[in-house]
Amino acid sequence: MRPLASPSADTWQVGLAELLTLAVIGAGTYAMRAVFLVTARHKLPAPVGRLLPYVGPAVLAAIALPAFVAPRGSVSFAGTVPALLAAVVTWMAWRCAKNNLPIALFGGLAVWWLASWAL
């Protein structure tokens, strides 16, 4: 019968595995970004060049939409309606105020506070 490994050896192995995982993820992330720097002298293919401007808004939407739909981690009327109402008012104020972002943001924030208080 083999003796069992000590708890400190198991902890060390888990820590090393986590560190290795983080290093591989970091290297992969760096490599994905470095490709654009290395190929900066070359022109992007036409389909990629046409689609690239849509990546930023798509990522922003993917990050922000869950915050509007489920602000506290679950969908509820009292939590969702004020956020969606504030988003709509902010967008409308931004369009009507000739792209004046501070007015739109403060207007949307005020609507969110009032709607949260009312519900």
Q: Is 64 in a helix, a strand, or coil?
A: helix
pLDDT at 22: 94
pTM of the model: 0.48
pLDDT single digits (tens) 8-30 = 667 778 888 899 999 999 999 99
Give CA 51 to chain center in angstroms.
Answer: 19
The answer to whether 93 and 108 are in contact (CB under 8 A) is yes
pLDDT of residue 21: 94
Residues of the chain with pLDDT under 70: 1-9
